[in-house]
Structure 1
Amino acid sequence: MDESTTRDRIHGGFLGRVIGSTMGTIVEGWSFENIKKTHGTINKYIGFSFDEAGHIPGIPNDDEMFEMVLLMALEERGRGITRMDVARKWQELIHPNFTFTAEKVAIERFHKGVYLFGEDLVKENPYHDFIGAQMRGELPGWIFPGNMAAATSLARLDAEVSHAREGITGELFVSAMVANAFNVPPAAASPGAVHFSWLRRCIDASKAAVPPDSLYSRVLAKVEALHDASPVDWERNFLEFRDFAGREILDELCKGADKNRQDTLRRLYHIHVLPNAGIILLALLHGQGDFSKSLEICADCGMDADCNCGNVGGILGTMLGTANIPAGWSRPLNNTFMTLVKDWDESNIDTIAARIYEASKKLRD
């Protein structure tokens, strides 16, 4: 792939990421039933005040903070980046009040001079396998386009700053999907859609980043089996998957855990990595490579909708490039991105995408 196409794919990926996290924000934490009763379906931006030009005012979303901070760390440290570099950047640039679950615990400990990574933080961070690392998985794939091994290596380093076990696997899978997305031919199957056969190849290749004996692998296998048996009825498949995840998978997570950990899992399972990983894959498969349809399904499932839609938008946006993302999604953003990262002064989506590309090119040269 030539560099101009790579640059555009990164741009499309970041744009898709911002589109997804923005449209999913309004139903973050909602149930499928509540979304259906209140909105029917989420197939456009809702809950925002549009100006006369049809633009949404820039509203910061916490989901992209960690990718922007990783970008800054990569710009400073390059190939020699370490987990400690990322941790210190979090400590410097992200206020704990803007964070949740695993990241919040990690940053609060960093400020106390306690730095624990990966497996060492399992007993100290009850959220070590929640959604946060998966949420930020696109950047390693953009940094190493087409190179799943390099992308997942960077993803593991980043994930271990706050997560362990299945939490790390979430970032590995998303980074693999994005890296492999660059191997999908650039021609769209139809406006706003990639060829489903190529999407499926991307999924199959990316599963190599997932430990075969993991609960994450079981989640992916369940969603694929449901889709392949009934490719049309996504709602029925989602409800069956949700029951499976809330019964078998949750029970496995709770085995051997103390009461505090079990209570945390049951109370906050909607933001655990595993059910949300299933939603991402379900939306991609049932969306059949269509950008809008995939986002609609993803948002309608609920749970951690802004994280999930951000991942789906980032993956498909990388496959499509900017020209193939429907204008009805991109135009209302008015090329604007806002974040709560300290000292971040860039608000143009295209400029940030160019910055990601330059970091990628420097690390690949």
Structure 2
Amino acid sequence: MTDLRLTWVQPEDLIGHELRQAAQDGRDATRIADRWHAAGGLPAPDRAGASPVPATPQLRALAGELLNELALLPTPPTEREPTDLPAIRAACPSWPDTPAEPSPALSVPRLHAAWLGRAVGCLLGKPVEKLPLSGIRALARATGNWPLRTWFTAEGVPDELAAAYPWNRRSAPTSLAENIDGMPEDDDLNYPLLTVLLLRRHGRAFTTADVARLWLDELPAGRTFTAERVAYRNLLAGIEPPETARYRNPFREWIGAAIRADVHGWTNPGDPAAAAAQAHREATLTHTANGVYGAMFVAAVIAAAARTDEVHGCLRAGLSVVPPRSRLAEAVAFGIESARAHRDFETVADALHAAYGHYHWVHVLPNAALLAAALTHADGDFGGSICRAVSGGWDTDSNGATAGSVAGLLAGHPARLPEHWTAPLKNRLATSVAGFDGTGFDTLAELTRAVTHGPAGQEPQKEARRT
């Protein structure tokens, strides 16, 4: 019989991550860490969602006990990094004003370019997700694709190199140059679909509880990861938001909320404050503090990008909704400064990894720094933005997706995106979100425009039109 290894939720896998989180938010967990390691407990898995071997019942019970003790440790004051929206706004001296008149909805072609950009950037990063920076560079160099400028390929990669740096097991069959046939399923695309459904059902007045109900209705649990899976488990255990983001959730400052923020920006064009507030309501189901800021930052950047073709002002708009004394604001600023300081992006990436390499590869801080650096360095160029975001490592598909969304929106029309990037997607998205499998990106653009100023409570059609 094979053991079922449920990732991202077992106490013995959570404890090491929570000990890291305690160190990052200023709690002294030395005594608890000593007890865990003395009992034979392992550190947090470095890249996988589960430890190499299952824990004994005794060790799993101890992990649960220690998680409860960690939750009781006093946390330093949160003035620098609050989670409640009023406190966040109070901490942001440059919080953007609300426009006197609502901006018109984005055009369907501009939304089409943003959806395509998100998909292309995600797909570019899929085969190298979880690989170290050295592996990404080695694989690209082996095929003459460095600096990165096109899809990864396995053709021409020496066997010993392929063995040392194996492609992402789940993604390689559908995301290399030789086998791309439409856009395969990815959580970076599933979540925007769910947000479109959210806005169709509840409008802009949706609550965090509405997000939770939508997930339970429409999102398969097996398609969630890290903080989202923990929050899903908490909902099934009867824990309500916002406690779903806190209870035994050491991933609450990871990147998950940021990958769900695009639609909030697309549907609040020219209004970064409204986009950020909307993203906050969704993010607090699963995240706190910097994890929430990551979503607010992305939403505000995209809302600003909807009314300009200049990326640097968009990044300033994103920073305006992030508490300036927070670690996320520092990471974004560091990414921008590093990009401005070096002409060679490989040097930029090295600087980011030297500064933030001690964080987990899915944590929001290194990834936000890399995203800001890639967008700054590429100066709005589509291919340059996604290639820099992916070539910098860490959460490659998520960073590629967000960079592609921003750069696609700045491009303003799908015809302005290079065909060698968009043609392999064949205007077809695979997903397990019911009613959307096989949908075209042009159709998704139409659906997104329809919810920009749509009435609250409108129920979506059962099936999206396929192309």
TM-score w.r.t. structure 2 length?
0.66
Which whole-Å CA distance do the structure 2 matches of 1:137 and 1:216 have between them?
Answer: 16
Q: Is the 8 A contact 2:338 2:348 kept in 1?
A: yes
Q: Which runs of 5+ in 1 are unaligned?
A: 186-197, 251-268
Instruction: Identify which range, 34-43 or 207-216, moves more after superposition.
Output: 34-43
Q: CA deviation at 1:227?
A: 2.2
Whether 1:69 aligns to 2:194 is: yes
Runs of 4+ in 1 over 6 A off after TM superposition: none
* TM-aligned CA distance change 1:55 to 1:3, over 3 Å: farther
Q: CA deviation at 1:286?
A: 1.5
Report the equivalent of 1:38. Answer: 139
* TM-aligned CA distance change 1:29 to 1:309, over 3 Å: same
Which whole-Å CA distance do the structure 1 matches of 2:203 and 2:105 have between them?
Answer: 22
TM-superposition CA deviations, 1:309-343 (whole Å, max 9, x none): 00000011111122211111111101011112234
Which whole-Å CA distance do the structure 2 matches of 1:28 and 1:340 have between them?
Answer: 21
Report the equivalent of 1:236. Answer: 347
Instruction: Identify which range, 108-117 or 303-312, moves more after superposition.
Output: 108-117
Q: CA deviation at 1:24?
A: 0.8
Q: CA deviation at 1:2?
A: 8.8
* TM-aligned CA distance change 1:147 to 1:282, over 3 Å: same
Q: CA deviation at 1:85?
A: 0.6
* TM-aligned CA distance change 1:300 to 1:79, over 3 Å: closer
Which whole-Å CA distance do the structure 2 matches of 1:205 and 1:57 have between them?
Answer: 34
Aligned-partner SS, 1:45: coil
Which whole-Å CA distance do the structure 1 matches of 2:357 and 2:188 have between them?
Answer: 24
- Give the counterpart letter for 2:390 in structure 1: A
TM-score w.r.t. structure 1 length?
0.84
Q: Is the 8 A contact 2:279 2:295 kept in 1?
A: yes
> What is the aligned counterpart of 1:356 among 448, 452, 455?
448
Q: CA deviation at 1:3?
A: 5.6
Aligned-partner SS, 1:279: helix
Report the equivalent of 1:100. Answer: 225
Report the equivalent of 2:417. Answer: 325
- Give the counterpart letter for 1:175 in structure 2: A
Report the equivalent of 1:128. Answer: 252
Within a 5 Å distance, the mapping from 1:246-261 to structure 2 comes to 246=357, 250=359
Report the equivalent of 2:289. Answer: 165
Report the equivalent of 1:214. Answer: 326
Within a 5 Å distance, the mapping from 1:44-55 to structure 2 comes to 44-46=150-152, 47=172
Which whole-Å CA distance do the structure 1 matches of 2:319 and 2:105 have between them?
Answer: 28
* TM-aligned CA distance change 1:327 to 1:103, over 3 Å: same
Which whole-Å CA distance do the structure 2 matches of 1:360 and 1:171 have between them?
Answer: 18
Aligned-partner SS, 1:10: helix
* TM-aligned CA distance change 1:50 to 1:27, over 3 Å: closer
* Bigger relative contact order, structure 1 or 2 (CA pairs below 8 A, ≥6 apart): 1
> What is the aligned counterpart of 1:341 among 416, 419, 433?
433
TM-superposition CA deviations, 1:64-98 (whole Å, max 9, x none): 22221121121011133111011011111112211
Q: Is the 8 A contact 1:143 1:363 kept in 2?
A: no
- Give the counterpart letter for 2:110 in structure 1: R
* TM-aligned CA distance change 1:110 to 1:3, over 3 Å: same
Tell which structure's C-alpha radius of gyration is larger: 2
Q: CA deviation at 1:200?
A: 1.1
Report the equivalent of 1:265. Answer: none
Aligned-partner SS, 1:270: coil
Whether 1:292 aligns to 2:404 is: no
- Give the counterpart letter for 2:317 in structure 1: A
Which whole-Å CA distance do the structure 1 matches of 2:139 and 2:183 have between them?
Answer: 25
Q: Is the 8 A contact 1:31 1:301 kept in 2?
A: no
More helix by share: 1
- Give the counterpart letter for 1:32 in structure 2: L
- Give the counterpart letter for 2:450 in structure 1: E
Which whole-Å CA distance do the structure 2 matches of 1:131 and 1:348 have between them?
Answer: 27
* TM-aligned CA distance change 1:80 to 1:98, over 3 Å: same
Aligned-partner SS, 1:223: helix
- Give the counterpart letter for 1:279 in structure 2: L
Which whole-Å CA distance do the structure 2 matches of 1:358 and 1:305 have between them?
Answer: 31
* TM-aligned CA distance change 1:227 to 1:122, over 3 Å: same
Aligned-partner SS, 2:197: helix
Report the equivalent of 1:7. Answer: 108
Q: Is the 8 A contact 2:340 2:377 kept in 1?
A: no
* TM-aligned CA distance change 1:219 to 1:341, over 3 Å: same
* TM-aligned CA distance change 1:240 to 1:82, over 3 Å: same
> What is the aligned counterpart of 2:205 among 51, 66, 80?
80
Q: CA deviation at 1:202?
A: 1.6
Q: CA deviation at 1:58?
A: 4.1
Q: Is the 8 A contact 1:14 1:349 kept in 2?
A: yes
